[in-house]
Amino acid sequence: MEISELEQLLSGARSLCVLTGAGVSAESGVPTFRGPDGLWRKYRPEDLATPEAFARNPLLVWEWYAWRREIIGKAQPNPAHHALVELETQMAARPGSRFTLATQNVDGLHERAGSSNVIRLHGSIWVLRCTECGEERWDESVPLDPFPPRCASGDPPCGALMRPGVVWFGESLPPEAWGRAAEAAAAADVFLVIGTSALVQPAAALPLVAKRSGARLVEINADPTPLSDLADLTLTGKAGEILGALRGRMNTQ
């Protein structure tokens, strides 16, 4: 019943904006941040994903990211990622329609599934950025060598410590990514929010921006969130199962 409501809402959408969080990758085996498997050793993400934590103990922070890089490197996109590719394709075939996918995830699984123009609000775990010269490089090697990584740019090489190219607590989102996402949220007539606890700002404000601008808000999540009561439609369950079922229906039409 709820799936048919979801299907109906999506089939009528002219400007669809999707926001995903860690829950969309959970069925790919990537741990979420705030679930029961969210703790790494005894640390919460708020204890590790900050400039202060990195300044205090870069090796500890890098060990956390190295652990995540190892898991993500082996992970495959799941039916939720694939269904979003299908949705993008279907929207592209509708004249005058618009599809935007913004993610808080740094794992790149949307891109690996085939989504295009993904707005990465929190950067990428595969980007390394020099703490001195700001040079960035794309590096998918697991394990990293040397560890922690050092900047190789310049002659002689800069040699300074590199940091993960992700957004930490207390840092601003990349302005271009944020601008595109905020604009798409305000222009959406349907906003689909999937697998996020909706606790981390400013990303958590996007569904509210959309709702205030008149969008129908749809949430898919394993658990209730602060958005659940505001949503026009809430589907409770695993994103891969729900979106996998939706994809099955889309393909039989």
Q: Which residues bind ligand OAD (CB under 6 A)?
A: 21-23, 26-27, 32-35, 38, 45, 49, 104, 122, 167-169, 195-197, 199-200, 221-223, 225, 238-239
β-strand partners of 16? 99, 190
Among all residues, whose Cβ is closest to ligand OAD?
A: 23
> Cis omega before residue 156 (within 30°)?
yes
Please say which residue, 15 or 197, places its beta carbon nearer to ligand OAD: 197
> Which is nearer to ligand OAD, 31 or 152 (by Cβ)?
31
CB of 30 to ligand OAD, least distance (A): 10
Smallest distance from the beta carbon of 224 to ligand OAD, in angstroms? 8
Q: Rounded to the nearest 5°, which phi and psi values hold at 189?
A: -100, -20
179/158 Cα distance (integer angstroms): 33
3-state secondary structure of 201: coil
- Rounded least distance, CB 155 to ligand OAD, Å: 34
Q: How far is the CB of 147 from ligand OAD (least distance, A)?
A: 20
- Mapping DSSP onto H, E and C, the string for 213-224 reads CCCEEEEEECCC
Q: From 249, 248, 196, 250, select the one nearest 227 (Cα to Cα).
A: 196
Nearer to ligand OAD, 49 or 158 (CB): 49
Least distance in angstroms from the C-beta of 121 to ligand OAD:
8
Comparing CB distances to ligand OAD, the nearer of 15 and 34 is: 34
Angle ∠(105,129,49) on CA atoms, nearest 5: 50
Tokens 């369950």 label which residue? 237
3-state DSSP assignment of residue 151: coil
Least distance in angstroms from the C-beta of 21 to ligand OAD? 3
Q: Which tokens go with 201? A: 């700002």
Q: Among residues 157 and 223, whose Cβ is nearest to ligand OAD?
A: 223
What is residue 186's three-state secondary structure? helix
Catalytic one of 81, 82, 110, 122: 122
Asked if residues 186 and 210 have their Cβ atoms less than 8 Å apart, the reply is yes
Helix (H), strand (E) counts: the chain: 10, 9
Q: Is 122 a catalytic residue?
A: yes
User: Is the CB of residue 242 less than 8 Å from the CB of residue 220?
Assistant: yes
Tokens 């929010």 sit on residue: 193
Query: 21 or 149, CB closer to ligand OAD?
Result: 21
Q: Which residues are catalytic?
A: 122
